[in-house]
Structure 1
Amino acid sequence: MDRYLPPNHPLNRVHRIGAALFGLGLVVFGALGFANQLAYFSTSGDMVLGLSSNGLLSTISVVVGLGLVVAAVIGGLVASTTTSVVGAAFLLSGLVNLAVLDSPLNLLAFKLPNVLFSLVAGMLLLFVGLYGRVAGRLPQDNPYWRARHHEEPYDDHSPELLAERARMAEIDELAHAELAVAEGHATAEQLRMVHEDAVRRAIETRRELYRREREQGRTWLAQNSPYS
């Protein structure tokens, strides 16, 4: 996959920057928890950067944060997948800890601001990790689309090349429409496409015939002119 997503690709930069920023934030949050010497398994917790924390949450924050930073350094599919997985874990953590607030099972010392942060951070991480990767219909110049279809990567994103690829996609769609018409199960849209293509071809053929007739007429006049 990495050969389809080079380091200078915009999607790769989004994945790496997002993973690095979230990772560094978690490392700072966890380090401040260690600096405050928080009780490791306290269910009440102490405030760090506006959020409740204990020693266990500080440890998890540092470990996950370092994982995101390493993924950002590697980049590519690793950064995208790691960020997405951590985002899903944040969402799950927010929901689970919401259910155990103010109970002995609140091992991470979560309070309502922690739950809200976890849910928001999870959605943002999922957005960053899946950005340009998951959609109803990815464009054919998307690196994830190309990897999924095992097409060769290319670095030329010039308007001419993109226009040529769009034209080839239209030709491929027209070929499927003509096959559907021949087999008798074409949709109304496919019938319209085939009809418009037939009209266009007829116009082009007529223009070509007119052009040849004019050229032949000019040639005959040149050969039979009394001044030649």
Structure 2
Amino acid sequence: MKTKLLYLVLLIFGIGQAQIELMPNPCDINSGTLTLKYGELGDYSIFDPLSDPNLYLYTGLQTDADPLTWDYHDDFADVATLIPLTFDSNLGYYVATFNPAIRTYLEEPNLNTTTIPVGTTVNYWYFLITNSDQSRQSADLKGSDYGFGASTLSVSRRDIPKDIIVGNGTITINNPAQYHITIYDVLGKKVSETRLNVNTQLTHDFQLQNAGIYLVKIKAGNSTRTVKMLKY
């Protein structure tokens, strides 16, 4: 009987977690660009979109000893600061891509606009789903329920220079180094892996076959940066 009850609890828990998927899993503040999928199995019980193709994620980070406060959070009064959660008609569910480490937040208690300082320990990542005018919203959701764990923000996310440019399936690098570049589709599947030895400047075409949005993970030495790339 105990075994059957445990199986039932795990089954119910698994169904609940299937409504939202966060990739990669596990992940933390240093994982680069994350992908959140909502409604992949047609379950919208967390938040009914009412056929709205444009939803948003309001997010917050807890970085101190008080678990009841979001020390860094989006500006709920300004939808432009929220993360778009958009219905992908090809996939048949909602998708959001974002890097929580490099986003701009309001910092408590003075509500100044800032990024998260390197060396900050992010204990929890919270979020909720809302519509564009914030007239409806879900309950608060915990990233830890979907694989997000505690970690200290690493300086490595700032080490790779910003003048690396991605374009229509290409990348241009202006800084000499050896680069390891991995490309993932929006589902988190690896589609390409390349090693480049750049002496001065280099433009590389990844020869991607399908149009769409890709995540490009760029590693040079101990430094890693993840950016979006559009292939059309």
TM-score, normalised by the number of residues in structure 1: 0.21
More strand by share: 2
- Length-normalised TM-score, structure 2: 0.21
**Structure holding more helix per residue:** 1
